[in-house]
Structure 1
Amino acid sequence: MPSVHEVTIEPLTEEAFAPFGQIIAAKDRPPDFRTESGTQGWAIDFRSGKPLIMLLKTPYRGLSFTKLECHFNLTQTFLPVGGSPAVVAVAPPSPTADRKTLPAPDRIRAFLLDGTKGYA
């Protein structure tokens, strides 16, 4: 029989999200490049693969979920284009190579996306 597990929504910070990926936003460190006109940039690390850019539209479904997706040999990057807040639930990778291994419910974490930052 299915059971319900509550997950506390945490603020999205570099430190809290580090085990799951990187935050895509202006950083609290000097930029990786700067132009004479004042444009500043921080590099996004795509060294682990070739980027494929897609535009996704995800309808609001409330603050509950019934499944998590697991991506092997793939990193996804999400950037908000509408500025709307959202919540993302994540779990650490499975310690085994078995693709059917599910994360323990107590290892799932949820982060509040304020609509100004992305994540990869």
Structure 2
Amino acid sequence: MKTLELAVEPLSREAFAPFGDVIEASEAVRHFPINGGNTERYHDLASIEPGPEGRAIVSIFRGQPRALPFRVEMMERHPLGSQAFIPLSGRPYLVVVAPAGAPPAATDLRVFLARADQGVNYRTGVWHHPLLALDAVCDFLVVDRSGPGHNCDEVQLDAVAVIPTVA
């Protein structure tokens, strides 16, 4: 099987826009003071989509660390709802995505290095790799869908894609 090395790019709102939302407190998002000026609210950071007959649920996922270089051999998607990951452990992590639609080829993948203060929300149907914690066990607050219907498709890639060691 052919092997492809993937480039790792920093996570930004603009670069990630085709796949979903970056969840972060920044000057680029709507924010305003609340609670008598004691708190700054960063408002409406992700479009949570529970889909028909679904409801939004909140869970904690505890991810085991992945060693780099890492071989990406499969991807998954949730065809009925979005899925948001907000890091709780103060550590950077990796995000691997491909556009919604037909199952992706290895050449369709993009890899982002997320800072410890950035979450992501995958739009409904966007292909992504399962959680990629780095260096240590990491907890993530996850907002996704519960409800009837099959909501997880998995596919094997046509080639192995490798994420190299990141600085």
| TM-score, normalised via structure 1 length | 0.83
| Deviation, structure 1 residue 44 | 3.0
| Deviation, structure 1 residue 28 | 2.0
What is the distance in 2 between the residues matched to 1:31 and 1:56? Answer: 28
Question: Which residue of the partner structure matches residue 97 of structure 2?
Answer: 90
Question: Which residue of the partner structure matches residue 110 of structure 1?
Answer: 111
Question: Which residue of the partner structure matches residue 79 of structure 2?
Answer: 72
Question: 5+ residue gaps in structure 1?
Answer: 95-100
| TM-score, normalised via structure 2 length | 0.61
What is the distance in 2 between the residues matched to 1:15 and 1:46? Answer: 16
What is the distance in 1 between the residues matched to 2:48 and 2:92? Answer: 28
Question: Which residue of the partner structure matches residue 5 of structure 1?
Answer: 4
Summarize the Cα distance change of 1:56–1:88 in structure 2 as closer, same or farther, 3 Å threshold: same
| Deviation, structure 1 residue 103 | 0.6
Runs of 4+ more than 4 Å apart: none
Summarize the Cα distance change of 1:59–1:47 in structure 2 as closer, same or farther, 3 Å threshold: closer
What is the distance in 2 between the residues matched to 1:108 and 1:93? Answer: 11
- The percentage of aligned residue pairs carrying the same residue is 30
Q: Is 1:38 equivalent to 2:38 in the alignment?
A: yes
Secondary structure, aligned partner of 1:16: helix
Q: Give the residue type in structure 1 aligned to 2:23.
A: I
What is the distance in 2 between the residues matched to 1:25 and 1:57? Answer: 20
Q: Is 1:23 equivalent to 2:18 in the alignment?
A: no
Aligned CA-pair RMSD: 1.8
Question: 5+ residue gaps in structure 2?
Answer: 122-167
| Deviation, structure 1 residue 32 | 4.3
